[in-house]
Structure 1
């Protein structure tokens, strides 16, 4: 399991979008595939997760899914950052 090393960019009040995009493509991509098409974890491209409510997806990002390889990111990112990531995943680039 890849772990993000908290950086000052992620600790600021406003999310650092460059760092968050890097987090998604490198840290999330380590399980979900670097193109987010799936790997150990499922495909998380917009067309495959569009049925998710943004609040539910934010909760999955923050708290993980017990009994699976999906870890909780709450210790490493803020709720605002998780909301941004959920929106980014749902909308794509």
Structure 2
């Protein structure tokens, strides 16, 4: 029996250590896990280098058209009527904000 990518991700996330530190920041380990999630799981639609695929490319210029909280909300709640799913069951608001910040400042794609 083969597990779908979604089910493998769900199982992996169930085994993750608590991600938030006492000061509310994310651990370096969790930040690395989120970056891996971005390039592997988000990359399955947006392309492994975020240059597009089933979903659109995610260059910094496009990501900066949103404010960080708006982009985090898009990550958490998805886009109805499209293939963009809600990640709210798998990510916290803090983690979605970290991903949004990463997309706006740290991705290698700048078009």
TM-score by length of 1: 0.88
Q: Equivalent residue for 2:49?
A: 35
Gaps of 5+ in 2: none
Alignment partner of 1:58 is 2:72: yes
Secondary structure at the counterpart of residue 16 of structure 2? helix
TM-score by length of 2: 0.75
Aligned length: 93
Please give the per-residue CA displacement for 1:15-67, whole angstroms capped at 9, x wherever unaligned: 31110000000000000000001111111121232211111100000000000
Gaps of 5+ in 1: none
Q: Aligned partners of 2:19, 2:46: CA distance in 1, in Å?
A: 27
Q: Equivalent residue for 1:67?
A: 81
Residue 20 of structure 2, aligned match among 5, 13, 19: 13
Which has the higher Rg, Structure 1 or Structure 2? Answer: 2
Greater RCO (CA < 8 Å, at least 6 residues apart)? 1
Shift, 1:7, TM fit: 4.0
